[in-house]
Amino acid sequence: MSPLPPQLISPLDNRYYKAVAPIGEHLSEAALNRARVKVEIEWLIFLTDRELFGASPLTAEQQTKLRAVVDAFDQEAIDALATIEATTRHDVKAVEYYVRDRLRALDLGAVEELTHFGCTSEDINNTSYALTIRDAVTEVWLPAAAALVEQISTLAREQREQPMLSLTHGQPATPTTLGKELAVVAHRLGRILRRIEQQEYLGKWAGATGNFAAHLVANPELDWEQAADEFTASLGLVWNPLTTQIESHDWQAELYSDIAHFNRVLHNFCTDVWLYIQRGIFKQIPQPGATGSSTMPHKINPIRFENAESNLELSCAILDSLAATLVTSRMQRDLSDSSSQRNIGVGFGHSLLALDNVRRGLGELAVNPDTLRRELDGNWEVLAEAIQTVIRAEIVAGRSHIEDPYAVLKELTRGHSVSRDELVAFVDGLEIGDAAKARLRELTPQSYTGRSAQLVDRLG
C-alpha cells in the first residue's frame, strides 16, 4: 500500500476547517508568532519614546514602518522565523532575531540592542497569548455565541404562547410553553456571556523572576513598575504586579471555566432539542440532496445536535485540562504550561464548531403544534395539581371541609389516564365555592401554563 501524502491530523484543520477558520487567525502558531513580533516591536518603541540610555525617539514614519512589519506578517515571515528557529531551537529567541533583522533592513540598527531589553521569554509569551486569546474571544467566539443566544431568544419570543406538556423525571407534569423553556436556556447562556464579556486579560512584564532585577541594575532611576503598567496598558492588557517568572494564568483558568460552563449548558440544550425532535415537537426540514441514512431513505437524523454534543465535550475536556494545568508551576517556573497553551485554539475550535452546528440545526427545524396539542390532550391528569391547590384555598376560606385534598386527587389520578369529562364530573361533585368550580371547569391542559408566556418577556 502506498503511503498517503502528508496529512493534517485534527479534523479542525481539514473536514471542519471552514467553520473554525476565524479562530486560526488568532490562536494558531502563526498568529502567536505575529503577536510576539508585535510585542517586541511595541516594547522597543516604548523604550525609545522614553529615550532610554540616550536612544533617540523613533520618528512617526519610522514607527509606522516598524509596525508595518506586523501588518505584513505573511507566509514568507512564517518561513523566515522557522529558518531562524531551526538554528536557535528557541521560538522566542527566533522572534528576537527576526525583529533585529527587520530593524537592520529598515536602517534602524542603532536601537537594535533595545530589542527584547530586560525581557525573559515569558514576558513576550504571556502578553502575546493574552492578546491572541482576547482577540479570539472578542472578535470570533463571543460574536458567534451571542448570535446563537439571540437566535434562541428569537425562537423563544415566537413560541411564547405555544402550550407544551412538561416532563419532569420524564413523566407528564404541569404544562409550560415552548417559548418559556427556550427562554430559560437563552437566559442561562446570556448570563455566562455577560461574565465572559467582563473578563480581564492580564499581562506580566517584570523580567526573569518578576522582580525587575536586571532593569534596576541597568537604570536605577526609572520607575520600572510604572513603565510595566503603562506598557501592558498600551497593549490593552491589565498589568499583573505580583508574579514569578510566569504570569500565573489565573485569568485564563477563569475564562476557560466560564466557556466550559457555557459549553455544558449548550450541551444540555442540544440533548433536549434532540429529545424534542424524538417526541415530534420539532419537525426536521428536509435539506435538498441530503441523506439521513445510507440504507433507510426515510430518515432525517438530528446530526447537527449530535455533532455539537461531541464537540462541546471535546472542548470542555481541553479547556478543563488547561484550567487545571495552567494554575500550577514548580517554584518560580516550569514548562508544563508551554505545551498546554499550544492547544488553546483546539479548545476554542471545538466550541466554535459546536456553535455553528447548533445554529444550523435550529435553522432546519419547524415547530409541530399537532404533536404539542396531542400530548396535552392525552394528559388531563396534569390538572390534578391545580384542583388540589384550589381546594386547599377553599378550605382556608371556609368554603370546603374536604380532608387531605392532595390524597383525594392522588387517588383519582396517580397512575391513571383521566379524561376531560371525568375531571369535570369530579369538580362538579366537589364541596367548594361556585366561583372556584367555574374556574376549574374552564381549565384545560392548554390553558394551564401560568405566567409562562409573560416570563419570556424577562429576556428583554
Query: pLDDT (tens digit, 9 = 90+) per residue, 200-234?
Result: 999 999 999 999 999 999 999 999 999 999 999 99
**Is residue 435 one of the residues assigned to a domain?**
yes
Give the per-residue pLDDT at 409: 87
Contact (Cβ atoms closer than 8 angstroms) between residue 55 and residue 221 = no
Please tell me the chain's helix, strand, coil percentages from 3-state DSSP, rounded to the nearest 5: 65, 5, 30
Of 118, 135, 155, which closes a domain?
118
Strand 238-239 to 163-168 pairing: unpaired
Please tell me whether residues 274 and 190 are part of one structural domain.
yes
Please tell me whether residues 395 and 316 are part of one structural domain.
no
Please tell me whether residues 358 and 400 are part of one structural domain.
no
Domain that holds residue 214: 122-286+298-369
Please tell me whether residues 53 and 153 are part of one structural domain.
no
Name every residue whose Cβ is closer than 8 Å to that of residue 428 and which is 6 or more positions away in sequence.
437, 441
CATH number at residue 410: 1.10.40.30
Give the per-residue pLDDT at 360: 96
Q: How many domains does the chain have?
A: 3
Please tell me whether residues 135 and 114 are part of one structural domain.
no
Give the per-residue pLDDT at 301: 84
When the pLDDT of each residue in the chain is averaged and rounded to a whole number, the result is: 94
Please tell me whether residues 408 and 437 are part of one structural domain.
yes
Please tell me whether residues 39 and 146 are part of one structural domain.
no
* pLDDT tens digit sequence for 30-61: 999 999 999 999 999 999 999 988 899 999 99
Q: Which one from 293, 417, 419, 447 is the annotated catalytic residue?
A: 293
The amino acid at residue 138 is T
Give the per-residue pLDDT at 2: 65
Give the per-residue pLDDT at 300: 78
**Is residue 291 one of the residues assigned to a domain?**
no
| Residues forming a β-bridge with 172 | 167
**Is residue 4 one of the residues assigned to a domain?**
no
CATH number at residue 110: 1.10.275.10
Contact (Cβ atoms closer than 8 angstroms) between residue 326 and residue 337 = yes
**Is residue 452 one of the residues assigned to a domain?**
no
Please tell me whether residues 342 and 199 are part of one structural domain.
yes
Radius of gyration of the chain (CA): 31
Of 64, 95, 118, which closes a domain?
118
d(CA 131, CA 153): 31
Of 315, 343, 369, which closes a domain?
369
* pLDDT tens digit sequence for 274-324: 999 999 999 998 888 777 766 777 777 888 999 999 999 999 999 999 999
**Is residue 450 one of the residues assigned to a domain?**
no
Give the per-residue pLDDT at 4: 63
pTM: 0.94
Distance from chain centroid for Cα 392: 46
Q: State the DSSP string of 135-193.
A: HHIIIIIHHHHHHHHHHHHHHHHHTTT-EEEEEETTEEEEEEEHHHHHHHHHHHHHHHH
**Is residue 292 one of the residues assigned to a domain?**
no
Name every residue whose Cβ is closer than 8 Å to that of residue 379 and which is 6 or more positions away in sequence.
165, 172, 417, 445
Please tell me whether residues 279 and 160 are part of one structural domain.
yes
Contact (Cβ atoms closer than 8 angstroms) between residue 448 and residue 382 = yes
Please give the residue that has the higher pLDDT: either 246 or 292: 246
d(CA 79, CA 13): 19
**Is residue 239 one of the residues assigned to a domain?**
yes
Contact (Cβ atoms closer than 8 angstroms) between residue 404 and residue 391 = no
Q: State the DSSP string of 283-308.
A: EEPPPTT--S-SS-TT----HHHHHH
Q: Name the nearest CA neighbour of 438 among 457, 449, 448, 424.
A: 424
CATH number at residue 230: 1.20.200.10
Residue 3 has pLDDT above 80, yes or no: no
Name the band, by pLDDT with cuts 50, 70 and 90, for residue 374. Answer: very high
Residue 342 has pLDDT above 80, yes or no: yes
Name the band, by pLDDT with cuts 50, 70 and 90, for residue 359. Answer: very high
Q: Which one from 169, 294, 298, 339 is the annotated catalytic residue?
A: 169
d(CA 84, CA 97): 8
**Is residue 454 one of the residues assigned to a domain?**
no
Using DSSP's 3-state secondary structure scheme, residue 93 falls into helix
* pLDDT tens digit sequence for 80-118: 999 999 999 999 999 999 999 999 999 998 899 999 999
Proportion of the chain above pLDDT 90, given as a percent = 85
Please tell me whether residues 174 and 255 are part of one structural domain.
yes
The amino acid at residue 340 is S
Residue 7 has pLDDT above 80, yes or no: no
Residue 169 a catalytic site member: yes
* pLDDT tens digit sequence for 421-441: 999 999 999 999 999 999 999
Please tell me whether residues 356 and 419 are part of one structural domain.
no
Q: Which residue has the cell 499583573?
A: 240
Name every residue whose Cβ is closer than 8 Å to that of residue 247 and which is 6 or more positions away in sequence.
122, 126, 130, 202, 203, 204, 240
Please tell me whether residues 86 and 186 are part of one structural domain.
no
